[in-house]
Structure 1
């Protein structure tokens, strides 16, 4: 143990607690079968473990006790209690909070217990602060028992062995006051950071809006007026790029057919690539000299893998992206799952760097159509059917199209396509293909610089 100041001492927690109504220092709750909704103010409720957060009590996290079940008032949580979770995943077992205030008729569940310090020896907030400390949490973690991290227990007997650094009561109160003062400063700093983040978000959206109104490149266009492609020249170049891409796909298909025939025509014959649809120009005007084309005219828009039980038995398992992995201009790859695929799917499903990924549907209109650019971080990675992939015929367009879809102007097009008469909002391959995109000579200039 760490050396303490002279007036301090290490004392077992059980020696510093008052006895509960059960005559013991720790009192565990009760887990009856409850309704799935929170209890109203005049009804009894049983707390869920999520009511206990690190240093915070969330009384709204409860389930209503049915009227047919007699409540147990001696398990009611009151102001001044210290509550701790005693069962659950490793990161949720041993979480503690001091109850600063609470409504009446809330009962502890069987996965938590409470304890009350002897007020002549120990300040409740001091004890809560110590238990939340890294030192105490390491000690508590070693006390947990169970077969796996997904389901651990913290028994009264083992927790009672926790040693507490006991300072004089007056000094405990000064320590608590100083902690609260510093936490208040931290909270103010966090609030300022949140405000700054929101302001940056507004600035970012304003910047994107100006970009796709032509304001950011207005001077560049004036300086290069004699070098700019006309809309007709630009359209011709896009069509040439499309044809080049299609011919490349044809050659790849012919080779795949030869390989299939060489293997005795085992499995399904590779499918011939479809010819690209004609580019449909819109009369929408983004800016003078810019073309308005559908995303489907400058990319291949495709769906992904549909998850089902049968895929669990497939011999080929690959990593794949889900909706949970794709956010606005952000890929969250800390949890990537695997899925079974057929040999034929394996040849076509893999993502390529600079593929655009669009979220098909979401309960929130603000979240539908979230879009990010695949960065190639995972080799041979697929995607689920709720993510729509757009593979641009010219990959140098990718970031421009991404930023447009993130801009207020692009978001408006996405939302309009996602809307329906039923009030539901969802995207499909056709709807994503129909989203208008601005194409202009700046792309040609960027491509030349890249070369």
Structure 2
């Protein structure tokens, strides 16, 4: 590795050019958000682009870092870096790396970012990945002559500044697309997206009274189907000798109560022929279940699909066509089986409120709700409605530590209904526009990936001696190392270097 270095660079261990201070957690009672004591950083969660963001303080710090120190994340995840710009306390998720002599901190910062993958590859741990202080101290660093280090930092910052401008524009375009997506969804479910379509198809539209009559008829039909299924289940239960509890008889649908003036006042006005309904009046909402204990071979590992929240929240495709987990027939009594082309909704965890149309028969856990009795022709309309409400759903505070949306709340949700033909038209229009938006988003993501690759290419050139010209008059890196070693020897028995120093650039 050293043979490929340009003269007069050197490869040496991190501890030979810097002091490494491993963080330590202060007493819990010393943490506060009132600004008392030192700013306290625990890990990557507080990191910004270059400098950390102060979120809390502590009055009894165990380990400290100073302006110019590099803050290195040593656990979960390993490798991210920031530069301390204040005197601060550091927890056990961080190490402070303090360059010696007059080495510019940003030279070492950029080098550690360049070698992030190499450091992360040395992490160990089953519960979470971490790197030991010994491995960090022994990690090899490519050291250029001091004047060249300053030239390298200046060139990196010049190139990164230009690159950052382009990245900022790409991110701004992506944000505008998301705003456009949200405005389309809002327009769709207030009837504005298909205003022209209604004029062209006026003779095909249902009146509000006709729509109400159709909904009532569909509810009665669904109840009769549930009643038939219940009668079959009772006969089977009786034929088997009445084991366990008798199947529960479905409830006859109640009369549709009109919305109150107060409820209507909080809703957007709908076009003629559109009506607000509660979700419970349009379909059945059920929650899944999980065979316990989780992973028990008695229940798991069969040939029946079993969905978890991650299965339906992993991408933005409206349709789910694959699964990861399975259960055996023994597990069917502990969960719920639904037919193909059922609309699902995540209702637990940080990703709650994500809809998905499942294209195969499946079971699912209790972090997912399903809508039963929905006409397949309007599944996509329903999907887009729930997508338009994801943010609103996540803002509902039920006072629990784990975000959760129970089925009663889902049933009470107000849903805009129009003629079946228009619901299909709404979904088709959204599908076409969103397909175009997704193509543009993919293009933007590719450009952002190229920008990140270019950033890494710049760093690679910088630390292989190809970014800036070498000057034969520069003092060799070996002389810098001699001074650092002399400084270390002079400080034997005391602190290696007083942290109260000027901030490095």
The reply to whether TM is greater than 0.5 is: yes
Is the Cα contact below 8 Å between 1:356 and 1:371 reproduced in 2? no
- Secondary structure, in 3 states, of the residue corresponding to 1:273? coil
Equivalent residue, structure 1, for 2:64: 76
Q: Using the TM superposition, give the Cα deviation of residue 299 of structure 1 relative to its aligned residue in structure 2, in angstroms.
A: 0.8
Q: Using the TM superposition, give the Cα deviation of residue 297 of structure 1 relative to its aligned residue in structure 2, in angstroms.
A: 1.6
Is the Cα contact below 8 Å between 2:31 and 2:57 reproduced in 1? yes
Equivalent residue, structure 2, for 1:291: 275
What is the alpha-carbon distance in structure 1 between the residues aligned to residue 149 and residue 67 of structure 2? 20
Q: Map of 1:101-140 to 2, 5 A cutoff? A: 101-102=85-86, 104=87, 106-119=88-101, 122-133=103-114, 136-140=115-119
> CA, structure 1 residues 298+184, in 2 after alignment: closer, same or farther (shift >3 Å)?
same
Equivalent residue, structure 2, for 1:7: 7
* Per-residue CA distance 1:260-318 (angstroms, 9 max, x = gap): 4454443333323333334445596622223333322211133455x999889895358
Is the Cα contact below 8 Å between 1:328 and 1:372 reproduced in 2? no
Are 1:249 and 2:230 counterparts? Answer: no
Number of aligned pairs? 410
- Using the size of structure 1 for normalisation, the TM-score is 0.70
What is the alpha-carbon distance in structure 2 between the residues aligned to residue 308 and residue 344 of structure 1? 8
Equivalent residue, structure 1, for 2:169: 192
Is the Cα contact below 8 Å between 1:295 and 1:435 reproduced in 2? yes
Equivalent residue, structure 2, for 1:168: 145
- Structure 1 stretches lacking a partner, 5+ long: 19-24
Equivalent residue, structure 1, for 2:132: 154
* Per-residue CA distance 1:299-345 (angstroms, 9 max, x = gap): 1133455x999889895358554599769978999999999997544
Is the Cα contact below 8 Å between 1:84 and 1:114 reproduced in 2? yes
Q: Using the TM superposition, give the Cα deviation of residue 442 of structure 1 relative to its aligned residue in structure 2, in angstroms.
A: 4.3
Query: Which structure has the higher relative contact order (CA within 8 Å, separation 6+)?
Result: 2
RMSD, matched Cα: 4.8
Equivalent residue, structure 2, for 1:22: none
What is the alpha-carbon distance in structure 1 between the residues aligned to residue 2 and residue 48 of structure 2? 24
Equivalent residue, structure 2, for 1:97: 82
Q: Using the TM superposition, give the Cα deviation of residue 13 of structure 1 relative to its aligned residue in structure 2, in angstroms.
A: 2.4
Is the Cα contact below 8 Å between 2:22 and 2:95 reproduced in 1? yes
Is the Cα contact below 8 Å between 2:42 and 2:91 reproduced in 1? yes
What is the alpha-carbon distance in structure 2 between the residues aligned to residue 224 and residue 251 of structure 1? 38
Is the Cα contact below 8 Å between 1:392 and 1:398 reproduced in 2? no
What is the alpha-carbon distance in structure 2 between the residues aligned to residue 253 and residue 152 of structure 1? 56
Equivalent residue, structure 1, for 2:463: none
What is the alpha-carbon distance in structure 1 between the residues aligned to residue 339 and residue 92 of structure 2? 47
Counterpart pick for 2:183 among 195, 200, 206: 206
Are 1:43 and 2:31 counterparts? Answer: no
Is the Cα contact below 8 Å between 1:29 and 1:110 reproduced in 2? yes
What is the alpha-carbon distance in structure 2 between the residues aligned to residue 112 and residue 390 of structure 1? 46
* Per-residue CA distance 1:390-418 (angstroms, 9 max, x = gap): 3343232333234345558x999x899x7
Q: Using the TM superposition, give the Cα deviation of residue 97 of structure 1 relative to its aligned residue in structure 2, in angstroms.
A: 3.2
> CA, structure 1 residues 298+316, in 2 after alignment: closer, same or farther (shift >3 Å)?
same
More helix by share: 2
- Using the size of structure 2 for normalisation, the TM-score is 0.64
Q: Map of 1:50-449 to 2, 5 A cutoff? A: 50=44, 53=47, 56-58=50-52, 60=54, 64-66=58-60, 75-86=63-74, 88-89=75-76, 92-99=77-84, 101-102=85-86, 104=87, 106-119=88-101, 122-133=103-114, 136-146=115-125, 148=126, 150-156=128-134, 158-280=135-257, 286-305=270-289, 315-316=298-299, 319=306, 321=308, 343-346=332-335, 348=336, 350=338, 353-357=341-345, 359=347, 371-376=353-358, 380-384=362-366, 389-404=370-385, 429-443=407-421, 446=424
Q: Using the TM superposition, give the Cα deviation of residue 64 of structure 1 relative to its aligned residue in structure 2, in angstroms.
A: 1.8
- Structure 2 stretches lacking a partner, 5+ long: 429-505
Is the Cα contact below 8 Å between 1:51 and 1:61 reproduced in 2? no
Equivalent residue, structure 1, for 2:22: 28
